[in-house]
Every structure is written in structure tokens, then in C-alpha cells.
Amino acid sequence: MEIVEIVERSLVAPSEETPKERQWLSNFDITISPTIYTSLIYLYKFNGDPDFFSVPTIKAALAKALVLFYPLAGRLAADKDGRLEIDCTGEGALFVVARSKLTLGDLKDYQPSIENRKLFVPDLKSETSPLLMLQITFLESRDVVLGASFNHCIVDAHGDFHFMQTLSSIARGNAFSVPPPLLDRALLRARAPPIVSLNHPEHLHVEYLKSVGYTGLYPPFICTILKLSKDQINHLKSISCRRGSSDTISTFQAVSSHIWKCLCLARNLAPDKESHLLFPVQVRSRISPQLPKYYFGNSCACGLVSAKVSEVVEFIPQRIREAVGQIDDAYVRDSIDYLEVADKESLSRRFGMTKYDLSISSWLSMPCYDADFGYGEPVFMTVTDTGIGGIAFLIKNPGKDQGISVLVGLEIETLKQFKAIFYDFN
């Protein structure tokens, strides 16, 4: 038997008739490659229930959830001008059942990697791929690994977790405990005519990448998870206070500043060169009118901080705080308009990174562990991998643990140096 053996592979369609229509995608959606998926791993400990993760129960819940989230049962298509949109065909989501000789003990030190993603998450990436793919893997120990993969140009992490909340609540018999998604993306249309600022951070970053001859090629990388306790996080926050700052520093700002500092040191970057921190910022409450809480789609603007490497290694969470504070309605509208008029080359470079760049996504406000299918919350969850080096995710730890996990992907030699200095908070 292979490490993971596929037992069943099928398409699960919505349990009721759903609208057959084409849905417009916003600029935040279509500028993400249609081949990029956000893939999640959940680990559930066997609770003694003889029907633990009953396949018929999960499939029935998936079919019901797809009635509410019916775009996920469709496929990507193009309109007459070649712009991506969703063809709501109702074809369904991919559902896979697998079994493995692995045990919970084998996965206690689980590390995100492309190899592990291929074991536990379906991987069918083509122009006609399902927009949602789920895999339930039953371990030898009767524990379960649940893998979920969402097409990123359809929805962001906020929507991913909303769907998982809905799916799990239906599975445990509480079908109406989670509000339905809002599927209208019109609130994120560009202005007519678009108004583009040449000082907009995204535009400036693209111009920087052009100036340094960015190629889009990245060296091999590996991922690891590093944990920070509540006391360690508070220590990082206190560093600014000890240096005379009266600003309130958030966990994201303090930890991101520390990661940025460690990366500059691990890569041995030239002190006089400029480094950049990129981070997605959820804009739902930052625009006017506000997006509804359960808006379904990508709704993150790109935040960016630039600083000399010598400044970064001095620890500068206040600079991150200032950059976050600048993201208001005007900033978001500029971003949408920039994406409306930018050429394809510029759009392809939008998230490009050099060795002087770092991207950090915060999932600290996400309901990462709110996925109880009736058998208890997951004992562990993570994103499967970072895709390229130079990317990090901040994820809450489970239960009452008030610490966080830093999932980071870096070049092999860089990661060794990074891990060696990560817990040096001086």
C-alpha cells in the first residue's frame, strides 16, 4: 500500500437546483492566477464514535453547502473580452476519500511541504479544474486528515473559513448557525473613469521590480512552523516601549517586524539597500460603503513598507503600523483602479519578490479552528505550503493557547540561518 491510497474520487453537486449564470469577478479576483489554490490541512483526533467522519454525512453536508456557495460548484470561464468570470454550471466540487498507514504519531511534527500537500489535498490544476476540492484521509490510528483546496481567484482566506464553518455546521446538524455568503461583487468595481496614482504602493513596487530585472524565477525552498508563546509576543511588543515609543503595537506588527529583521540577517542583505514588506490587508471595514462581513470573494489590498535594511534590523513595528493605518477607502479605490488599467506584465509582477522582499499574511483574526463536524474541533490546522520562498503566515494556536504559529517558507540555506536567530529577541 502506498503512503496514501485513494479509495473514492467523485464530483459532489449542489443538493438543490442552483442558478445557472455567469458571475463577474472583481479586479482583486482576476489578478490572482487561476491556477493558484489556497490549500488547508486539518487534523482530527478519533473520538471513539463508530461513525467518525462518516463519508455519507460529509458528502451530504457538502452538497447542501454548495447550494449556498454555488459558485464553488462551477468552473472558470472567460467573457467575450477574455476576462475571467465564474460559469455557475453546478458541476460540483471534487470529493476524495483516502486511507493511509500513517498514524497521528507520525504527524505530530507535521511540516508544511509540497510533498505533504500532494498526500492530503487533491491536485487537479487545469483550466477546467473544480474550484473546490476536498479529501478525507483515514489514518491507521482512525484519526482523520481533512484537506481542502480553494481556487484563490474565486475567494480569499476569509471566504475559505466561512465555507468550512458552514460545511461543518451542516454536518453536525446546525444548518442555519452560520449566515449565508453575499455573492454580489459589484461594490469592488473600478471607478469610471479609473483614477490612478503614480505614488500608489503597488505601482511603485512593480516599477522597482522592473528596475532590478525581476525574472519571476525562484530558488528551491522549504517550509517550517515556529511557535511563539504569549510571553514571547508580549516581549516583542515591549521592545518599542523600551525605546520610548507610545504607540500601541499589535501582535501582527511586532511579530512581522521581528520576522523581517530575521530575514534580512539570515539573507545577509546589504545594510544600505532597500527592503520591502508586503502584506494583504482585509478591506471589508475600510471602504465606504463597507463590504458585508460575509462577502464572498477576494477583498484584500496590498500593503507595503519600504525601509533600509539597516533600519529593519533595528526593529521597526511602528513603520508597519503607519502603513496599515494608511489603508482607507481612497487607498483601496486607488488599488482597484490601478488593477483596472495596468498592463499584463505589470499585473504579473504585482506580487513578485526579490531576496530583498518579504510577504506576510496574518490569519490571526480568522476562525481557523472553527470546523467541528460533530466530532470535536481539529487538534491542528495549517496552510499546506507557501508556494515560494520569502512568504510567511501567522496562525493562531488551537484551544486556550494564546500563542501563535509562524509558518515560513525560505530558501534552504536561508532557513537554517533564520531558525538559528529567530528566538533571539535582543
Phi, psi dihedral angles at 252 (to 5 degrees): -60, -45
Is residue 229 within 8 Å of 404, Cβ to Cβ? no
Spell out a b/e string for 91-129, using b for 16 or more CB atoms within 10 Å of the CB, else e: bbbbbbbbbbebebeebeeeebbeebbebbbbbeeeeeb
The single residue of 29, 143, 152, 334 carrying the catalytic annotation is: 152
CA 420 to chain CA centroid, nearest Å: 26
The alpha carbon dihedral of 128, 131, 132, 137 has a sign of positive
Nearest to residue 301, comparing CAs of 324, 321, 320, 322?
Answer: 324
Is residue 130 within 8 Å of 11, Cβ to Cβ? yes
Q: Is 156 a catalytic residue?
A: no
CA 347 to each of CA 145, 258, 259: distance values in angstroms, whole numbers, following the listed order: 36, 29, 27
Beta strands in 196-350, from DSSP E residues, in sequence order? 221-228, 274-282, 300-308
Is residue 235 within 8 Å of 257, Cβ to Cβ? no
Per this entry, what is the length of the chain?
A: 426
Partners of 35 in beta bridges: none
How many Å apart are CA 390 and CA 320, to the nearest integer? 17
Set of cell numbers at residue 192: 469610471
Set of cell numbers at residue 105: 504519531
Partners of 39 in beta bridges: 149
Q: Is 372 a catalytic residue?
A: yes
- What secondary structure does DSSP assign to 106-127, as a single string? GGTT----HHHHHHHS----ST
The single residue of 87, 106, 370, 372 carrying the catalytic annotation is: 372
Query: Any idea which residue has 517558507 for its cell?
Result: 409
Nearest to residue 256, comparing CAs of 228, 285, 294?
Answer: 228
What amino acid occupies position 298? N
Which residues are annotated as catalytic?
A: 152, 372
